[in-house]
Amino acid sequence: MTDKTAKRQKPAALISGAAVLLLLGLALPAAAQYKIYDLGTNSWTQDITADTRNRVHIIWTNYGVLYYGEIVNNALTGVVEVARGVNTTFWRPYISAQPDGSSVHIAWTTGGMGNMLMHSWKTTGEWTTESVWAVPDSQWLSQPTCAIDSKGITHVMFAIWNNVQSNQWSTIFYTRKLANGTWEGIQQFAPKTPEYKHPMLFVDIIGQVHATWTISGRVGEDSYDAYYCMAPSGGKLYFDTRVKLPKAEDCNVNGYGDLYVDRYGVVHRSIGGWSNAEEKMCIDHTRKPVGGSFTVPTRASLGFLNLKGGDPVPAVVAREDGRTIVAWGQIGADGNTVKASFFDPDRNAWSLNTIDPAAGIPTSPNSYRVAITRTDTHVYGAWRGGNEHLKLFVMPIDGYIRKDLNKDGRVDSVWRNYATGTNRVWYMDKSKKLGEGLLPAVTNTNLRIAGTGDFNGDGKVDILWRHYGTGANLVWLMDGIRRLGIVSLPEATDKNLKIAGTGDFNRDGKVDIVWRHDLTGANTVWYMDGVTLLGEGLLPALTNTKWKIAGTGDFNRDGKVDIVWRDYGSGSNWVWYMNNLTRLGAAKLPAVLNLNWEIAGVVDLNGDWKADILWRDYSSGANWVWYMDNTKQIGAAKLPAETDLTWRMENQ
């Protein structure tokens, strides 16, 4: 569905009063958007992770004591002591959460030769700690890492150094704790020569476990290389399935690095590289698309680092459009600093920033990994500040937020009754209704629910309203079904202007608003910073006004907001593939010729991170969902019916 003859038209002024600056829609530099918080507790080492319900879990150590807490509203909450006797020489404890957040696990070690591998975990209530493995006095166990798949199996990797003069070796071992609570036997994962070390594990949103590790030395064609393998949820990791990661052309060593797998299954690995020619380290990054190979590394640090000691262990996260953050701490000529480099795929370039110019990096080698994670909407990084306090940087990474009002990790459905003014939420598990909750009522039925999104950056679903009598626009700031406040947006007094959806079009991590003019066919985006209008941009016009914008979502999985259209004259349905204001292409969706069926929203109802389409029949009250893979309908499911036709499903 295209309108090749339509010209871009400037719509009637959307804002009363002064003219608005027309933006090109370029995102602000990522470095300009992070904020730093002092969490107010002393720390030596730290780690952080998030689950698919957007809960952020953090651990830290101080004088051998291990603590746990959650990050809520950029502050620590629920702080508890987990264990004592924690060793942080050469490494730190490692935290992992089951994808749905139903359990949280920590792998750590005690100190000295002949030490022990420890495992602490909690589901609900208090933490439990157990000893997993003890090595002889001639060995040292270190570098523990863990991951918990969606079957409830705990995967643990660690390194052992054998300090016997006639038989010195260092390699990686692997074990699993099954869902029934029993541990499998400890298995030697890699050969004993050369040195295999620095394992890292990561569990993705569907519960697959990914692993990376390095070697120090040479074996055959392999020399100071890094490797990767993965296992399906419930499966095992195998050394023989490994893939060698590429080195940058000017590097001899592919060293320490972190793993991250985005919502679309793209694997990212950060690299601490080394150049013999420069005799210096660098920080690189490589990525592996689904079904593809790892790319040639790019230089996140821009150049080589002037270090005074220690090897930085860079951490990495990414969003689905390729924007990537690599962060590390370093002891260098300019002091103890925490750096972060931001990759912009539109410019194909990194920008290097100093997050903390006076960090409190411990002197123990490799213990000062800057920990980093992300939720649907924000990146969180943790490190030790110069005052020895645990520090946190927070940065918006995506304006998208699942329409999940009760924070159970599942998409819910918002309804409004245009006869009574009653508003409600259906709490959903895919197509099954679990229950419902009442929102505040609004008896003036000129006020319509126009969309949802996180407008104030608190990670919670807010509700956008438009008054079609006055042109007023409002946002309800919400905490679940509780209204925290009401904020006015600029008016748009032309009643033919309809809010058609929301989405982060310019990829600045903020929710934007899409408009369509019912008479002219002009389409516009308001670029927002929370509830502040920054400017507007013109989308391609579509003068056939029988076509209505039915929703927004990422259909082709490029991390950019696409637009869904329905023709209420013919029953045709199309998707526009977008890059901000630019239409890259269009594709046909299955038609629905019965015009009583309306698209009620675009959401990810089944949790596969693909945009699905909600339908409501306004003649019968039937409701359905199409499960989609791009434009292909891969399934459908019936939702509970609502035969009172004064109720509208408002899931734009």
CATH class held by domain 250-397:
mainly beta
Fold type of domain 412-649: Neuraminidase (2.120.10)
Predicted local confidence at residue 17, as pLDDT: 30
Let me know: does 24 contact 71? Beta carbons within 8 Å.
no
pLDDT at residue 5 greater than cutoff 80 = no
pLDDT at residue 202 greater than cutoff 60 = yes
pLDDT at residue 625 greater than cutoff 70 = yes
Predicted local confidence at residue 365, as pLDDT: 57
Predicted local confidence at residue 522, as pLDDT: 98
CATH class held by domain 45-245:
mainly beta
pLDDT digits (tens, 9 = 90+) for 452-477: 999 988 888 999 999 999 999 999 99
pLDDT digits (tens, 9 = 90+) for 293-323: 999 999 999 999 988 777 788 999 999 889 9
pLDDT at residue 610 greater than cutoff 50 = yes
pTM check: above 0.85: yes
User: pLDDT over 70 for what percent of the chain?
Assistant: 93
Encoding tokens for residue 306?
Answer: 């002037």
pLDDT digits (tens, 9 = 90+) for 16-43: 332 222 332 333 333 447 899 999 999 9
Let me know: does 59 contact 47? Beta carbons within 8 Å.
yes
pLDDT digits (tens, 9 = 90+) for 160-193: 999 998 899 999 999 999 999 999 999 999 999 8
Question: Would you place residue 494 in the very low, low, confident or very high pLDDT band (cuts 50, 70, 90)?
Answer: very high
pLDDT digits (tens, 9 = 90+) for 219-239: 888 899 999 999 999 999 999
Predicted local confidence at residue 204, as pLDDT: 95
Which three-class secondary structure state does DSSP give residue 276?
coil
Predicted local confidence at residue 311, as pLDDT: 78
- Calculate mean pLDDT across residues 228-257: 96
Q: Tell how strand 56-62 and strand 65-72 pair up.
A: antiparallel
Residue written as tokens 């029988």?
546
Predicted local confidence at residue 368, as pLDDT: 66
Instruction: Work out the angle at residue 76's Cα, subtended by the Cα atoms of residues 34 and 392, and round it to the nearest 5 degrees.
Output: 25
Encoding tokens for residue 332?
Answer: 């260098």
pLDDT at residue 7 greater than cutoff 90 = no
Residue written as tokens 């996180």?
454
Mean pLDDT taken over the chain: 91
Label each residue of 17-71 as H, E or C: CCCCCECCCCCCCHHHCCEEEEEEEECCEEEEEECCCCCEEEEEEECCEEEEEEE
Which three-class secondary structure state does DSSP give residue 418?
coil
- Calculate mean pLDDT across residues 72-78: 94
Predicted local confidence at residue 448, as pLDDT: 96
- What are the structural domain ranges in the chain? 45-245, 250-397, 412-649
Residue written as tokens 């795929």?
345
Question: Would you place residue 366 in the very low, low, confident or very high pLDDT band (cuts 50, 70, 90)?
Answer: low
Q: Which of 16, 3, 4 is nearest to 497 (CA)?
A: 16
Predicted local confidence at residue 25, as pLDDT: 31
pLDDT digits (tens, 9 = 90+) for 110-127: 999 999 999 999 998 899
Same fold, 45-245 and 250-397: yes
